[in-house]
DNA sequence: GTGTAAATGAGAAAAGTTTTCATTTATATT
DNA sequence: AATATAAATGAAAACTTTTCTCATTTACAC
C-alpha cells in the first residue's frame, strides 16, 4: 500500500514517487545514491529525470521516509528509514556500507554536547576502513 | 621559522605556501575553508589564485601540517595540525566549531570495527547542535 | 649565473546537486 | 464526469566546490 504511505505524509501520489519508493524497497542495495536510483529506474524502463529523482528523495527525507548520509564530502546516499538510529562503517575499497548501533557512543555524545553547552540536534559518525571481504580477497 | 617547516616536509619555500601558512597561524578562526583563506589573502593584498590555495592546502594535508574536515557533505575546512586527535561539535546556527576528545568513544569505535571485521583507517564524528552562545542570544 | 624540475595563475572542466520555467498531472470542486 | 488549480515533472541551465590543464614563472641545486 505505497500510495497510502505517500498520502499519509502529504505528498501527491505520482508515478515518479511510487517508482522511486519501489526501487528503494526492492533493490538489493540498502544504500543508494540519486544516480543509483536513476539508473535503476532506467533499467525498469521508467524514464524519470535525474532532477526529479533528487527532488523526490529530498521530499522523502523531509517526510521521514528516507534518511540521507553525506559521505566524506562527496555524494549523498539514501536509505529507507526504518525507525532505528544507527551509524555506519564504510569500506574504502568496495564502498560497501554496514550499519551499527552503539548505546555507549550515543550516550557519550549526549554527555559531551551537554558539557559543552550544546543543544544537540543530530550527529554523524562514520568509521572508514577495509571490510572483511576486501581484506580476504587480496 | 616557517621556511624551515616547509623544507622539513619536502616542500619548496614559495610565497603562496608561506602566506597560506601565515594566514592559518594568525587568523582568529581556527577552522577555515579554502575560500576563507583565499579571501584573507586578498585582504592582505596577496593575489594568490584560489586553485593555488586548494593545491597548497592539499599539500599541507599530505605533509601533515593541516587536517581537513569534510563538513556535512558540503565544503571542507582546514585546521592547523596540532598532533592531537579530536572530533568536532558544529553549531548549525553560527557555523562555529568546537573540538572535543573522548577516549571512550575512540575505544568503542575500535571495538566496533574489530567486531565487524573492519580494518579501521579513520573515522569522522560530528555532533551538530546549537552552541551555548547562540542559545543565549535568541 | 644557469638549467631544470616544480610551482603558479587563469580559466576550463568535473562532479554532484539545485533551480528555472514551460508543460503536464493529481486531485478538490463542481 | 468535467474542470480548475495548485503541485509535480522534464530538460536544460545554473550553481558550488574542487580539480585539472597548460603556458609561464620561480626555487634551488649545481
User: For B76-120, what is each residue's pLDDT tens digit?
Assistant: 999 999 999 999 999 998 989 999 999 999 999 999 999 999 999
Residue B73 confidence class, pLDDT cut points 50, 70, 90:
low
Most confident option among A90-99, A105-114, B63-72: A105-114
pLDDT at A1: 58
pLDDT score recorded for residue B10: 93
* Mean pLDDT taken over chain A: 94
Residue A108's CB is within 10 A of a number of other CB atoms, namely 18
Q: Residue B98's closest chain A neighbor by CA?
A: A116
A132/B125 touch (CB, cutoff 8 Å), yes or no: no
Residue nearest to nucleotide C27 (CA to C1'): A12
- In this complex, the nucleotide whose C1' atom is nearest to the CA atom of residue B55 is D19
DSSP state of B90: E
pLDDT of B2-33, one tens digit each? 788 999 999 999 999 999 999 999 999 999 99
Place of cell 587568523: B27
Residue A72: pLDDT band by 50, 70, 90 thresholds?
confident
How many residues are there in chain A? 138
Q: What is the pLDDT of residue B2?
A: 76
- Top CATH class of B87-136 equals alpha beta
Instruction: Establish whether domains A2-80 and A87-136 are of one fold.
Output: no
Q: How far apart are CA B51 and CA B43, in angstroms?
A: 17
For chain B, the domains span: 2-80, 87-136
Q: Which residues of A touch B124 (CB under 8 A)?
A: 72, 124-126, 128
Instruction: Report the topology of domain A2-80.
Output: Arc Repressor Mutant, subunit A (1.10.10)
Amino acid at each position: 500500500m505505497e500510495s497510502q504511505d505517500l498520502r499519509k505524509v502529504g505528498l501527491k501520489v505520482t508515478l515518479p514517487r511510487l517508482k522511486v519508493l519501489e526501487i528503494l524497497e526492492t533493490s538489493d542495495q540498502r544504500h543508494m545514491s540519486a544516480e543509483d536510483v536513476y539508473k535503476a529506474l532506467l533499467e525498469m524502463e521508467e524514464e524519470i529525470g535525474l532532477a526529479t529523482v533528487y527532488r523526490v528523495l529530498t521530499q522523502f527525507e523531509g517526510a521521514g521516509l528516507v534518511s540521507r548520509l553525506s559521505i566524506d564530502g562527496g555524494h549523498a546516499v539514501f536509505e529507507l528509514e526504518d525507525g532505528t538510529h544507527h551509524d555506519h562503517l564504510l569500506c574504502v575499497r568496495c564502498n560497501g556500507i554496514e550499519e551499527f548501533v552503539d548505546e555507549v557512543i550515543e550516550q557519550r555524545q549526549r554527555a559531551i554536547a551537554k558539557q559543552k553547552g550544546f543543544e544537540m540536534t543530530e550527529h554523524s559518525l562514520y568509521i572508514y576502513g577495509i571490510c572483511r571481504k576486501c581484506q580476504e580477497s587480496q
